[in-house]
């Protein structure tokens, strides 16, 4: 064989190898998973990573999507907020994922958001948040304030006759903005300044003795007092322990939490928590056929009948199924096409009924108030009669009450000012 022939064969082999590599890369549709597996938020986010892996596995058993298998690409931003942006860019630019499911804290979402907008990719964000945002590239499957915080306060006010309010939160954007909305709402209901106490602590805060003492003192004024908690992550464990240590019972000063669900309770001694409350859009104890099937699938996948389910898991379940349906409807994973296809899609939720993706990229959800039981589950004590549509902008904040969001074409604006008739930005 001539040298020239050998070179031609080598070149042919290289071409075949390259084509094979390209074909291999195109054989799967990549799904990014961006949840903290270490650090202060791992207590909540690790389970969400496993939830996406389960959903990917189940979809592959159904034959995949568009004739291709799904491939999960997992990264760990380690509860490091700037690292979320770096990892998001890595997933989109290097790993070439078609969608990302991730984030818990709003500061992590705010960190990622510019990356998704710059690269025109898609993020499904599964956790309750403060609202005041509507991005073309983010689909908010967790609760907006009108789907959790406001109904919870209305319940305490109307059902438990609460008159004094402790707004206790971790010191970052979600608690501060949510409490700003709640403070405005309470004052609109006639609550005086002296009947509102606001407290913030850093992530991972562990010494709650003086703060719980202040709460006890605030609640001794002769008016029914409650704590509205936006405390996030592992700081909840010592907070509830200190409540128990100082004898603060749910009969004396009930706590309603927005970030404590079944997963967090599974790692706690629940005895001092019994009777306290949480507001979510889903509880594991909900009795529906869809929920029973989800729980069975989860415990089988995770290989443990002791593992629990929770609200953000359901949000990923809803968001993932919406994305699958949108891709099928669009016939492509192209980001722009899928963004358009997602609006109006309705899929079953686990609490009963169908959740719909609205033009403002929020969804419809039921609202439930649950009472903590000694087995770490929740007894649902109140729920809305139907599903509540998520508001991107709060009517209780003057600067937001005039804003309207719709990403439906040709409108395509996340913050349209109804007074000036101008779009003030993407979010």
Residue range 306-332, pLDDT digits in tens? 999 999 999 999 999 999 999 999 999
* 23, pLDDT greater than 80: no
The contacts of residue 164 (CB under 8 Å, 6+ apart) are: 195, 196, 197, 218, 219, 221, 223, 224, 225, 226
d(CA 369, CA 337): 37
Q: Are residues 263 and 171 in the same domain?
A: yes
Task: Show which of 336, 364, 392 is a domain's final residue.
Answer: 364
Average pLDDT rounded to a whole number, residues 275-283? 96
Please report, for the domain that includes residue 238, its CATH number. 3.40.50.2300
Q: What percent of the chain has pLDDT over 70?
A: 93
The two tokens of residue 283 are 């509880």
Q: Are residues 183 and 222 in the same domain?
A: yes
In the structure, what pLDDT confidence band is assigned to residue 29 with cuts at 50, 70 and 90? Answer: very high
* 273, pLDDT greater than 80: yes
In the structure, what pLDDT confidence band is assigned to residue 268 with cuts at 50, 70 and 90? Answer: confident
* 228, pLDDT greater than 50: yes
* 293, pLDDT greater than 60: yes
- Output the pTM of the full model: 0.89
Residue-level pLDDT at 32: 98
Average pLDDT over the chain reads 93
Q: For residue 312, give its domain range.
A: 27-146+289-364
Cβ-defined contacts of 303-306 (< 8 Å, 24+) = 306/266
The answer to whether 218 touches 252, Cβ cutoff 8 Å, is no
* 37, pLDDT greater than 80: yes
d(CA 327, CA 304): 32
Q: pLDDT per residue over 349-392, tens digit each?
A: 999 899 999 999 999 999 999 999 999 999 999 999 999 999 99
Q: Are residues 355 and 243 in the same domain?
A: no
Average pLDDT rounded to a whole number, residues 118-134? 96
Q: Are residues 208 and 141 in the same domain?
A: no
In the structure, what pLDDT confidence band is assigned to residue 5 with cuts at 50, 70 and 90? Answer: low
The contacts of residue 193 (CB under 8 Å, 6+ apart) are: 187
């Amino acid at each position: 064989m001539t040298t020239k022939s050998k070179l031609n064969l080598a070149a042919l082999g290289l071409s075949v190898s390259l084509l094979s590599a390209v074909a291999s890369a195109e054989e799967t549709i990549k799904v990014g998973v961006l949840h903290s597996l270490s650090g202060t938020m791992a207590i909540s986010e690790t389970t969400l990573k496993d939830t996406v892996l389960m959903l990917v596995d189940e979809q592959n058993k159904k034959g995949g999507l568009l004739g291709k298998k799904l491939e999960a690409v997992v990264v760990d931003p380690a509860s490091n907020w700037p690292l979320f942006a770096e990892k998001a860019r890595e997933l989109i630019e290097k790993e070439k994922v078609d969608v990302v499911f991730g984030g818990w804290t709003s500061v992590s979402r705010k960190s990622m958001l510019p990356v998704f907008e710059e690269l025109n990719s898609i993020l499904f964000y599964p956790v309750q948040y403060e609202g005041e945002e509507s991005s073309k590239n983010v689909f908010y499957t967790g609760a907006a304030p009108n789907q959790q915080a406001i109904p919870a306060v209305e319940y305490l006010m109307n059902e438990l006759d609460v008159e004094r309010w402790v707004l206790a939160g971790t010191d970052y954007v979600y608690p501060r903005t949510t409490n700003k909305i709640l403070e405005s709402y309470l004052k609109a209901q006639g609550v005086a300044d002296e009947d509102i106490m606001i407290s913030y602590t850093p992530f991972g805060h562990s010494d709650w003795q003086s703060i719980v003492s202040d709460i006890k003192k605030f609640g001794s004024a002769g008016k029914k007092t409650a704590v509205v908690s936006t405390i996030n992550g592992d700081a909840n464990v010592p907070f509830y322990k200190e409540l128990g240590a100082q004898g603060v019972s749910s009969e004396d000063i009930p706590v309603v939490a927005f970030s404590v669900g079944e997963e967090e309770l599974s790692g706690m001694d629940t005895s001092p928590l019994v009777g306290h409350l949480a507001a979510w859009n889903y509880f594991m104890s909900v009795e529906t056929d869809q929920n029973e099937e989800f729980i069975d699938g989860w415990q089988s996948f995770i290989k443990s009948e002791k593992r629990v389910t929770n609200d953000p898991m359901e949000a990923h379940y809803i968001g993932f199924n919406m994305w699958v349906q949108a891709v099928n409807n669009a016939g492509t994973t192209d980001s722009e096409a899928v963004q358009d296809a997602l609006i109006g899609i309705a899929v079953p939720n686990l609490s009963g009924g169908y959740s719909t993706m609205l033009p403002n990229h929020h969804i419809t959800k039921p609202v439930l108030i649950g009472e903590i039981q000694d087995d770490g589950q929740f007894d649902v004590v109140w729920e809305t009669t139907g599903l509540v549509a998520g508001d991107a902008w709060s009517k209780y904040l003057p600067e937001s009450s005039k804003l309207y969001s719709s990403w439906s074409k040709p409108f395509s604006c996340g913050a349209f000012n109804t007074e000036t008739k101008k779009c003030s930005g993407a979010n």
